[in-house]
């Protein structure tokens, strides 16, 4: 009965595949206990992803998200008690106006939780393709190190403003860099920023996402990498699992490798969204989190199906 707190469907995300119901059906078939539906938040036209530019207006993208919430609510009821579905959103942090957009969205809709993510630096997507990554790097001063510093500074701003219950793919910035599997410790300014961000997440009780999508994209370690996980663990930090699936073929993919990584990291407990609980400092109520020991997790029948 594993868990994923991050997914996208082709029905509501232009760079994903399959319908939302097909995603849910596959999660049920693979034995998931908890599966979160977290489409991207709607954005203004200047921040459309390339595949959205010819397909949407700002109004139609907002309607698409509204339609997602309706379909997600239908599926949550239809597939209970086969699976616990969570209805959420993956945030963006692009420019100052993004904060107001997300605050309005969270105030308007009753969501189970949200995933706090950063996909842009200097308003440019850093994980979409190599050309855009290089454009962002040029804007940062021309080196990976400067871009990493700016990325983690933007992430810190996001953390302070939003206190996301779950922090998504913390070191996503390494995906398209020249040396994606190089550890951060040899970059003093970068590592200091990472430590600052981790300390802040720990201070408000945020949970760090262990995201297996890095493995299917060719990286040697998931997000975040081993030194970050071990540092957060020493701070008393908590972790949750995600596949960040963008289609049925990615649900649970590389979870066996993710479990091996969890053990190597020394993580003893995995947290998963469970009963409703008030969120400190917020008028909204988000799901609370329970935990399972890694030893017990490893004995679950799911792993006979895991890829």
Name the nearest CA neighbour of 255 among 243, 247, 266: 243
Sorted by where each begins, the domain ranges of the chain are 3-304
Q: Which architecture characterizes domain 3-304 according to CATH? A: Alpha-Beta Barrel (3.20)
Residue 304: CB atoms within 10 Å: 7
Name the nearest CA neighbour of 83 among 140, 34, 44, 16: 34
Q: What is the pTM of this model?
A: 0.92
Instruction: Tell me the two tokens of residue 282.
Output: 């917020």
CB 237 within 8 A of CB 202: yes
pLDDT tens-place values along the chain, 307 residues long: 799 999 999 999 888 899 999 999 999 999 999 999 999 999 888 888 777 777 888 898 899 999 999 999 999 999 998 999 999 999 999 998 899 999 999 999 889 999 999 999 999 999 999 999 999 999 999 999 999 999 999 999 999 999 999 999 999 999 999 988 877 888 999 999 999 999 999 999 999 999 999 999 999 999 999 999 999 999 999 999 999 999 999 999 999 999 999 999 999 999 999 855 444 444 455 788 999 999 999 999 898 765 5
CA dist., res. 172 & res. 177, Å (int)? 10
Burial of 31 (0-12, 13-18, 19+ CB in 10 A): middle
CA dist., res. 81 & res. 91, Å (int)? 28
CB 163 within 8 A of CB 207: no
């Amino acid at each position: 009965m594993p868990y994923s707190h991050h997914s996208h469907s082709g029905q509501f995300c232009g760079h994903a595949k399959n319908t939302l119901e097909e995603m849910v059906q596959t999660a049920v078939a693979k034995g998931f206990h908890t599966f979160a539906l977290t489409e991207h938040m709607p954005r203004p036209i200047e921040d459309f992803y390339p595949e959205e530019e010819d397909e949407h207006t700002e109004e139609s993208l907002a309607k698409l998200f509204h339609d997602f919430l309706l379909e997600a609510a239908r599926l949550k009821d239809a597939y209970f008690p086969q699976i616990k579905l969570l209805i959420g959103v993956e945030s963006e942090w692009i420019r100052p106006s993004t904060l107001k957009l997300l605050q309005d969205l969270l105030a308007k809709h009753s969501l189970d939780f949200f995933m706090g993510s950063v996909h842009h630096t200097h308003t440019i997507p850093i994980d979409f393709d190599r050309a855009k990554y290089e454009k962002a790097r040029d804007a940062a001063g021309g080196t990976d190190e400067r871009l990493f510093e700016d990325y983690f500074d933007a992430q810190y701003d996001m953390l302070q403003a939003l206190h996301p219950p779950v922090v998504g793919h913390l070191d996503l910035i390494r995906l398209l860099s020249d040396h994606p599997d190089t550890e951060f410790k040899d970059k003093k300014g970068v590592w200091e920023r990472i430590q600052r961000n981790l300390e802040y997440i720990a201070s408000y009780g945020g949970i760090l996402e262990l995201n297996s999508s890095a493995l299917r994209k060719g990286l040697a370690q998931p997000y975040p990498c081993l030194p970050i996980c071990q540092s957060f663990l020493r701070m008393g930090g908590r972790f949750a699992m995600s596949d960040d699936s963008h289609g049925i073929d990615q649900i649970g993919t590389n979870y066996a490798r993710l479990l091996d990584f969890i053990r190597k990291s020394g993580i003893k407990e995995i947290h998963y969204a469970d009963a409703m609980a008030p969120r400190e400092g917020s008028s909204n109520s988000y799901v609370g989190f329970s935990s399972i020991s890694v030893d017990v997790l490893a004995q679950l029948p799911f792993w006979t199906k895991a890829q």
